[in-house]
Amino acid sequence: MLIKKIYKEILNKKEEDLTESELYFLVRQDLLKELAIKNTFIVVMRNPLAGEMYQGQFLEILTENIDIFGSKFKNEILIILNQTRKLM
């Protein structure tokens, strides 16, 4: 029931109002995954080390889904790669 409640709350939000916790929830529950991945790219472009549980977790999530969404978000991937190179 808790998952349904959280999901319902997320559905009532605007896309730009989703929190990092909600994005993490959507990806891990495999719900609205394209929307979640798209917004996760935005979060990672702002902060490559962003994560819900640990630093870099969202970048890890994106790499786990690269085969599915890589071609759709090619420009975002290039931006993130350039940003992470600067951190090294």
Per-residue pLDDT of the chain (88 residues; tens, 9 = 90+): 788 888 889 999 999 999 999 999 998 898 898 899 889 988 988 888 899 899 989 988 888 887 887 777 777 877 877 877 777 6
Q: How many domains does the chain have?
A: 1
Residue partners of 43: CB distance under 8 A and separation at least 6 = 20, 23, 50, 58
Q: Does the residue 3 lie in any domain? A: no
Q: Does the residue 11 lie in any domain? A: no
Q: Does the residue 7 lie in any domain? A: no
Task: Note the residue count of the chain.
Answer: 88
Q: What does the DSSP 8-state code read for residue 88? A: -
The torsion region of residue 56 among left (phi > 0), alpha (psi -120 to 50) and beta comes to: left
Spatial contact of 76 and 45, defined as CB atoms under 8 Å apart:
yes
Q: Please state, in angstroms and rounded to a whole number, the distance separating the CA atoms of residues 2 and 6.
A: 6
pTM: 0.77
Q: Does the residue 39 lie in any domain? A: yes
At residue 39, the pLDDT reads: 92
Residue partners of 21: CB distance under 8 A and separation at least 6 = 52
